[in-house]
Structure 1
């Protein structure tokens, strides 16, 4: 779009409102379109001019939009959020009134995405104040839920007419808010709604990838690693090859999940997507080298915390224990392993605060999880492992 006057912009909005053309109107109500940077569009009080060209309810939408642009230009994201929130709530009324049509869904996608982005900026602006963290994002989620309820309530079965085809886009926006404010329990009813939708296989591939990425992450936090692997693998394999940033983001969660299930990622893939932090960790786990594991875990601690996988990566240590004990079993070539031999190996690898009782606890945990087949003879202080496949492959346990 070349530079245009505000009056020309309003004339175009009027044309696309009367057509109606949801895609064109979405462009003219987007905070990310190039017109948003034009100084003449940043209006603190645009009502007079807007009402000369537009009628209700589109005049209200445009007024809120131009005011939002004004406050963004002023750097006041909290007031900008108020304007975008008001626009979203006004749009919900339009959506509710459209009983037999869904042409305005593109506007909904744009308005809701901008609401979340402005809310994030407003939250950042409040950092350091006495305000409750996440409060603006929670309010934004309430607006998004308003749109979601309207779409979910549309019982028409035709994909061309129903608003339910807009549900997944809203769910993905809500997921992004809930993950940011750490309220993952609120995702459950949304997941049920999508999984029971007759349109779940007809949503766009990009929306399905985003959905499975977030559901996969939630499954990971719920310790359902098989489900997490399923969803994250789908997201990674179907994400476009040119979307390296998104593929890397998916891998950050998929790699530890794969490792917990006994699969070893290739160094080539880790290097290709710049998550090589995991490679030394892979070597430490495979070798059962607890000293190296602790060193790497500490070295990349900030990365693991930032990505939200600190606790998940920490669980990989139990696999390192399993691999170390398997090495000792092979060295001793006996199905009766002295607990003292295991403890000596642990101390040698830097676990100096582990005594015999704690070593037994580690083994008991491995037996309970099925990673070792056997039992502990407390009387003789020995681990008696099965004569058949005492250390079953981890992938067989998933």
Structure 2
């Protein structure tokens, strides 16, 4: 068994894996370590130590003993233990915030603070009806976010607490998505972008977040998801999702992991709608989507989207995928023009029966077709030169 004096971390202002294991009260690695508090005279540190040790020495054994409890009583006892964990972790979070907020040179505690906040969220998700606990967790995490933003230290940017703000942005994204609270997501993104624009917080790659690749992937994914599904800014969504994809480690050179697949399912329609390059690695649905676009197969496209509607809604990709009908319509008109005989620039509307005049007008107004609708002659009059200009990136 290893022995670790927790007070040493506060005296020398650093953390390591053993300190994180100490805060992760149910960590497997922490079982092999004895934690003590010997020489640090600070009431807040003492409270923090006692709170963690209560979880380690009292609550954890109680949780492990639940498997021996009568099944009829187990559910009630499990809830009681989870409530104890929730309350103690909230207290730990408040104590860490107090230490960081009131003492100088305590930035080293920002990542440990994040690990406790993440444990609080993980515990809140274990409740059968845990909405109230997840909401409580969201408020606690937002206090951490606010504390980071309110640091006025401009002399040494590296010691500014704003370096850790993205830890809590990532966690708030996860919490608000679980609660389906899209207004809070909107407010969070607005706050982040405003502070970035004013130079009041560093970019993610210049912050503490850059040391944690998985968190960078998550941050860029949620930003991309927001701009894709909430504001329909597909070009901006594409940029964030591409960053997320490029940072995401592949499972193997030839296969995708679940996280990579999740990102690509969102990136793919955004890349098409914003007219960017499309990655070669696609799944069967994406291949089928490309085929319907290339053929101008309007019924096939609608059938494909309808058949995958629930999956697309769950992924947040329904809107950008449905927007691809614009490309299908354009290809349909192109094929109709190529197949008709007689030449000329007039295309009778009866040769494109699957499109309404409104559909064609949208293609013209977007610049995808150069020409105009002649209602008197019931035809589409194409420009004599470059009737179908190359699609430009948006």
TM-score, normalised with respect to structure 1: 0.77
2:374 aligns to what? 377
The separation in 2 between residues aligned to 1:368 and 1:380, in whole angstroms, is 20
The separation in 2 between residues aligned to 1:368 and 1:286, in whole angstroms, is 22
1:264-343 equivalence runs, <5 A = 265-266=278-279, 268-270=280-282, 275-332=283-340, 333-343=343-353
Indicate yes or no: 2:42 matched with 1:30.
Answer: no
**Among 142, 148, 159, the residue aligned to 1:145:** 142
The separation in 2 between residues aligned to 1:68 and 1:18, in whole angstroms, is 28
2:69 aligns to what? none
1:246 aligns to what? 259
The 1:317/1:89 distance shift into structure 2, 3 A limit, reads: same
The separation in 2 between residues aligned to 1:82 and 1:110, in whole angstroms, is 16
Indicate yes or no: 2:116 matched with 1:111.
Answer: yes
The separation in 1 between residues aligned to 2:31 and 2:309, in whole angstroms, is 40
The 1:170/1:70 distance shift into structure 2, 3 A limit, reads: farther
The 1:335/1:116 distance shift into structure 2, 3 A limit, reads: farther
The separation in 2 between residues aligned to 1:337 and 1:79, in whole angstroms, is 73
Paired residues of 1:29 and 1:65 also in contact (CA < 8 A):
no
Structure 2: tracts of 5 or more residues without a match: 36-44, 67-77
The 1:263/1:276 distance shift into structure 2, 3 A limit, reads: farther
Indicate yes or no: 2:57 matched with 1:59.
Answer: no
RMSD of equivalent CA atoms: 3.0
Paired residues of 2:217 and 2:248 also in contact (CA < 8 A):
yes
The 1:147/1:256 distance shift into structure 2, 3 A limit, reads: same
1:210-225 equivalence runs, <5 A = 210-221=218-229, 222-225=231-234
Paired residues of 1:229 and 1:258 also in contact (CA < 8 A):
yes
Give the match's secondary structure for 1:384: strand
TM-score, normalised with respect to structure 2: 0.78
The separation in 1 between residues aligned to 2:106 and 2:125, in whole angstroms, is 32
Give the match's secondary structure for 1:185: helix
The separation in 2 between residues aligned to 1:197 and 1:238, in whole angstroms, is 25
Paired residues of 2:149 and 2:162 also in contact (CA < 8 A):
yes
Paired residues of 2:26 and 2:60 also in contact (CA < 8 A):
no
Structure 1: tracts of 5 or more residues without a match: 42-53, 128-133, 347-357
